Amino acid sequence: MQKKRNIRTWIGDIVGLLVCFFIFVIPFLFMVINSLKERREANKLSLSLPTKFEWSNFVEVFQTNDYQILTAFKNSIILTVGAVAILVFFSAMAGYVIQRRKDRPVKIANTIIMTGLMIPAAILPTIWVMQTLHIYKTMPGMILVEVALHTPFTIMLYRGFMSTIPIELEEAAYIDGCTPFQVFRMIIFPLLKPVTSTVIILDAVTIFNDFTNPLYFFPGNENATMQVTLYNYMGQFSSAYNLLFADVLIITIPMLIIFLIFNNKIVDGMVAGSVKG
């Protein structure tokens, strides 16, 4: 009986790994291998190893369009860091009060924000608003768009986590003479650390990988983000798969690093974030 079970789990392991390999690993390998081939060889789109490793592909991708990828990288980083920093700060405050207070105005605010979980952005009117405020095609404007679009999800995470923090702490601090903002800054915000790290990872990954919003709200060559650059290269490199894949790889590397460092945390965070929905 024991033996039979052992064999069965081994078969499970092997079948599972094989399926994983074919469905998930091969596309990735395919991209890595072809990014290192010489142009004509890469265009055959085969899975054979390169006859010669062309590391210069990566250099060439960097040099394309006057080092556009470096600008794009800078833009993506500023956008991600800026938006995530604002999101953490604003949403933690909002989630805190929404969870603690259940009166009518707060409930209404909550309902309004939560519609954003389902309803997509009204794109052209958003551009119109941004133009009216003179922030269209600017980095601050783009950051605000990302903040607005990720606010519902982020507040939801904070609101969910707040319910695990005992209310007595705040009351004690308040009686000791803290102002409401001090209570938040010195007592609550430090206690929110676990969910804050989840928020940072989840929002950073989605904002860094966002393609649609920069496409609409942040057009122009000097404004390109990593994802938009990749999209533009699709047209430009249509007959040079080696460069296209090298670009994909360069774009994926930051996320790969985050993945290797925070592997378990990301999975836990995803779970916490999605299940509470």
Positions 126 through 155 that interact with another protein (CB under 8 A): 126-131, 133, 144-145, 147-149, 151-152, 155
CB of 160 to another protein, least distance (A): 13
Q: At what angle do helices 139-162 and 104-115 cross, to 10 degrees?
A: 120
221 binds another protein (CB under 8 A): no
Distances (CA, A) of 147 to 31, 38, 90, 116, 206: 33, 42, 9, 12, 12
Of 40, 53, 169, 259, the residue at the interface with another protein (CB under 8 A) is 259
User: In the numeric block, which tokens belong to residue 46?
Assistant: 């085969």
Structure tokens belonging to residue 265: 């945390």
Count the Cβ atoms, other than its own, within 10 Å of residue 259: 13
| Beta carbon of residue 128, minimum distance to another protein (angstroms, whole number) | 6
Site size toward another protein (CB under 8 A) is 100
User: By CB under 8 A, which span of 26-34, 50-58, 59-67, 192-200 interacts with another protein?
Assistant: 26-34
Exactly one of 31, 78, 81, 191 binds another protein (CB under 8 A); which one? 31
Q: How far is the CB of 194 from another protein (least distance, A)?
A: 16
Residue ranges in 161-190 that form contacts with another protein under rule CB under 8 A: 170-171, 174, 180-181, 183-184
Residues 45-84 that bind another protein (CB under 8 A): 45-47
What's the min distance (Å) between Cβ of 143 and another protein? 10
Which residues have a Cβ under 8 Å from the Cβ of 161 and sit 6 or more positions away?
Answer: 95, 192, 194, 195
- Which of 1, 7, 49, 118 binds another protein (CB under 8 A)? It is 118
Quote the tokens at residue 80: 């991600």
